[in-house]
Structure 1
Amino acid sequence: MTIRRRLVLLSAVAVAMAIAIASAAVYVLVRSGLRAEVDTALRQSQNKAYVVGAGAPSPDELLGPLPGKKVDEVVRVALPSAKFGDATGIAQLVTRKGSVVASVSGGSPLPTSDLGSVPAIGKAALSDRHVKGVHLRMLNTRLPSGEVLMVARPLTEVDRTLRSLLWVLLAVTLGGIALAAGLGVLVARGTLRPLRRMTASAEQVAATQDLSHRLPEGGRDEIDRLGASFNQMLSALEASREAQRQLVADASHELRTPLTSVRTNVELLARAPDLPGPERERIVTSVGSQIQELAVLVGDLVDLARPNGIDPEEIVEDVRLDLVVADAVEAIRDHAPGHAFAVDAQPCTVSASRPRLHRAVRNLLDNAVKWSPPGAAVEVVVGDGEVTVRDHGPGIADEDLPHVFDRFYRAPAARRLPGSGLGLAIVRQVAEAYGGTVVAERAETGGARLRLRLSPTS
């Protein structure tokens, strides 16, 4: 079932339930009111009943004791004449011996089967009875003399009114349901219009692969917020696709040079098996160096291709940042014997993968060694979850600062130096993977300063 049909159905059901409850309440209130009026009329009639005929007591005597009075067969019970518009009622008197004194108006006698349930003297009992197809409301009262006075009024008009009311309420309920369904269709159509546009946009993107398509924005309701989230998702996908396309293009460019060089040297070795030993050794050394460069480049590409730069199998734990920096400095000294390192490290702990963090720090140090002149010290400061590495090289140009950590970005001055342009990109990826940041800035007295900051755990 579609969302539109569900909305229409739910709105119709909700309105139907509300109308049904309201109709039931109206019916009960009207029925109670009408029957209460009948009950009041019965009590008033009972107070005004009197006996006519030979030996009949007066109206005042009827509701009081009847000492020494006889009620013979020709005595009848009468009610006052009804006013215009009142329903006609009848009265009946049952003596202590069980004889019935019928109504002066004649008609069918009232049933006497439940006289045993009539309460004590002065009390009244109300009940419903059907006599020859006529629905009656009866009031039975035991008189002080022991007789039972029975007064009844027909409920024909009440029942007719209630039946008419029931049909009216049923028609109102059905009409309300139909109206709710119609309004539900209109409301669903208006409410789901943004969803239909969103669905059409999603289908268009799926069909054309055009991630530049956007939904109109401007509202503040839930659907508009969903549309804004959809646009953000498209923007993220578009940026991801562009980054992927750029990564493939840059990787192919970077791989082409070392692969071409390796292939050339290998072909030279194959065509010239009689090369002198020193020349052959030089070519083999060059091939080994280029293969090592390819291995590093491929490893960097694999790291950058992982979501958030995190290997699912790596262990994230509390790591002493100062010890990681010390290990990285010791490792890089073997490759940079002409550079000194001035390290000022304070103990601090961060949450990260130790191998990934070691690689990021190593890349910062490699970058500093690359730009520092021979004999110049690389300054390293560690504390409060932050590693600051400063070199004394030419510094970073203003136009290069925003792109220092981009993949494969190499400043014009760096293109003559070894490297693939992925080292600092990996540093940023590691920082973002563990909730940190990395920034590059020019030092006050020359050179560049790079800061890697993670949230300290202690």
Structure 2
Amino acid sequence: MRRSLSVRWRLTIAYTVIIAVSGAVLLTLVYGLVTGGEVRSGSVTTEVTPGADDDGPPPAPPELREDERTDGSGELLQSSWLALAFVTVVSVGIGWVVAGRLLRPVHTITERARRISADSLDERIALGGPRDELRALADTFDALLGRVQSTVTSERRLVATMSHELRTPLANQRAALEVALADPDGEADDLRTAATTALDQSRRAARVIDGLLVLARAQSGEAVGPPSEVDLRAVVADAVEQVRTPDDGLAWDVHLVDLTVPGEPALLARAVANLVDNAAHHNVEHGHVTVRLTAKPDVGRVVVENTGRPVPPETAAELVLPFRRGTADRTATGGGVGLGLTVVQAVADHHGGVLVLTPRAGGGLVAELRLPRQ
């Protein structure tokens, strides 16, 4: 493959061509003005005959000889073109130096970018100098590196925590089975208990894997099909019906209105179910759960509020991270796996919405899922 000219050489050639063409045009105009002036205002000396009638019209001045005009114009033209050739040659060197100085920030950006790898994402271009287009390019690249670093850090943390979440139920399942098999005279009740423990741990691992699959689908940004009109009233009512039980000891307050939003029904149903399940699961004895559905012309809101333990504001912002369970991060017991609000956040991003988590006065949390109606 033939190697093309560098940007520096192309800029140098462009500068040289511009100077040469501009000089040629200027010399052509000057030459035309000078030769035209010689024809109109040629100076000659005339003799006056004594005794002639002074009142008569003066004799017409004779024109310059053709060879005189040709010699003067030729010398001017030759000198002008020699000067233009000299200026053009000099402009090549000047253009090379100027192009190098202009491209120096580009070389700095390239060299520093080459040094940055997956293990040194904390480095930045940090280009100094005036705030011109190249400085804006470097700052944009630094901002991109910041987002990449945040994503890579989050993914590494997710992989590490996911390994822990899957390893724990598998280890518990293995321990229960080994204890049961270690006793050759074990009774049926002991074996049944071990089998029940292993089954519970298997279900826990399955919930983790299921949550990760939903999270991956929502974060991929790839829709299964064209968005359809989703009846959020029916979705919220179904989620409340699945979670609320007569013996849960909670007071439920549900206010629903007719509301439809475009999106993927399965993902939206999972997000709403996670919000309602979170409100019931992370609650206090004889607590309260409020579910509201409000509609505005441009946005629909699913608001789920529950009582519970006090949630610090800095903790509320971190609840959308994978496997976070508030004050009991990665160690909580129960049916949760720490992916509920993470999935809701991913579904909100997938649909162009937003999830807002606000600590409730007196304990608990207010989770608001805002979804665009168009």
Is residue 237 from structure 1 mapped to residue 241 from structure 2 by the alignment? no
Paired AA for residue 427 in structure 1: V
TM-fit CA distance, 1:194: 0.8
Aligned counterpart for 1:395 among listed residues 310, 325, 346: 310
Residue correspondence of structure 1 range 364-403 to structure 2 within 5 A: 364-384=275-295, 385-403=300-318
AA of the residue aligned to 2:372: S
Deviations 1:371-394 (A, max 9, x none): 223554421001131111111222
* Cα distance in 2, alignment partners of residues 346 and 81 from structure 1: 106
What SS is found at the alignment partner of 2:16?
Answer: helix
Tell which deviates more after alignment, 225-234 or 415-424: 415-424
Name which of 95, 112, 120 aligns with 1:210: 120
In structure 2, the partner of 1:444 is 361
| In the alignment, structure 1 residue 417 sits paired with structure 2 residue 327 | no
Q: Identity over aligned residues, as a percent? A: 30
Picking from 15, 18, 25, the partner of 1:14 is 18
Q: Output the CA distance in 1 between the equivalents of 2:191 and 2:245.
A: 27
- Cα 1:249–1:36, aligned 2, differ >3 Å: closer, same or farther? same
Does residue 24 in structure 1 map to residue 64 in structure 2? no
- CA distance in structure 1 between the aligned counterparts of 2:20 and 2:60, rounded to whole angstroms: 47
* Amino acid in structure 2 at the alignment position of 1:21: V
276, 290, 296: which one pairs with 2:207?
A: 296
Cα distance change, pair 24–450 in 1 and its aligned pair in 2 (3 A): same
1:429 Cα offset (Å): 1.8
- Which among 105, 115, 129 is matched to residue 194 of structure 1? 105
CA separation in 2, counterparts of 1:307 and 1:446? 30
Greater per-residue strand proportion: 1
Residue 157 of structure 1 and its aligned partner are, at CA, apart by 1.9
* Aligned residue among 360, 366, 371 for 1:454: 371
Q: 1:412 to 1:153 in 2, by over 3 A?
A: closer
For structure 2, the 5+ residue unaligned runs are 54-58
Distance across 2 between alignment mates of 1:263 and 1:25: 96
Higher alpha-carbon deviation: 411-420 or 303-312: 303-312
Three-state SS of the structure 1 residue aligned to 2:262 is strand
Instruction: Please state whether the residue corresponding to 1:157 is helix, strand or coil.
Output: helix
* Aligned residue runs from structure 1 range 86-125, under 5 A: none
Matched AA of 2:284 = P
Distance 1:81 1:233, change over 3 A: closer
- Relative to the length of structure 1, the TM-score reads 0.69
* Structure 1 pair 33–336 and aligned structure 2 pair: CA distance change class (3 A): farther
Residue by residue over 1:48-75, the C-alpha shift from the partner in whole angstroms, topping out at 9 and shown as x without a partner, is 9xxxxxxxxx99xxxxxxxxxxxxxxxx
1:428 is matched with 345
Aligned pairs for 1:234-383 (under 5 A) are 234-268=145-179, 275-305=186-216, 308-333=219-244, 339=250, 341-383=252-294
Q: Which has the higher helix share?
A: 2
Provide the rounded CA distance (Å) in 2 between the counterparts of 1:15 and 1:306: 59
* Letter matched to residue 308 of structure 2: G
1:440 maps to amino acid = L
Give the equivalent residue in structure 2 for 1:135. Answer: none
Distance 1:81 1:312, change over 3 A: closer
In structure 2, the residue corresponding to 1:192 is in which secondary structure? Answer: helix
Instruction: Compare 1-10 and 315-324 and name the one that shifted more.
Output: 315-324
Using the TM superposition, give the Cα deviation of residue 153 of structure 1 relative to its aligned residue in structure 2, in angstroms. 5.4
CA contact (8 A) 2:113 2:125 kept: no
Largest Rg, 1 or 2: 1
- Which deviations, in whole Å up to 9, do the C-alpha atoms of 1:281-332 show, x marking residues without a partner? 3333332332222122123234444583534425433323222212222232
Q: 1:17 to 1:353 in 2, by over 3 A?
A: same
Contact 1:309–1:430 (8 Å) recurs in 2:
no
Identify unmatched segments of 5+ residues in structure 1: 49-57, 60-79, 83-88, 90-151
Aligned-pair CA distance for 1:354: 1.7
User: 1:81 Cα shift?
Assistant: 12
Partner deviation per Cα, 1:237-267 (whole Å, 9 max, x = no partner): 2112211211111111111101112233444
> Structure 2: how far apart are the matches of 1:335 and 1:186?
83
Structure 1 pair 446–212 and aligned structure 2 pair: CA distance change class (3 A) = closer
Q: Mean Cα displacement is larger for which, 213-222 or 298-307?
A: 298-307
Give aligned pairs, total: 359
Partners of 1:321 and 1:348 within 8 A in 2? yes
Q: RMSD in angstroms over aligned alpha carbons?
A: 3.4
User: Are the equivalent residues in 2 in contact too, given 1:386–1:454 (CA < 8 A)?
Assistant: yes
Aligned-partner Cα distance in 2 for 1:336–1:18: 91
Give the number of the structure with larger relative contact order, counting CA–CA contacts within 8 Å between residues 6 or more apart: 2
Q: Moved runs in structure 1, 4+ residues, more than 6 A?
A: none
Partner residue, 2:56:
none
Q: What is the alpha-carbon distance in structure 2 between the residues aligned to residue 413 and residue 275 of structure 1?
A: 36
Change (3 A) 1:81 1:287: closer
1:408 aligns with 2:323: yes
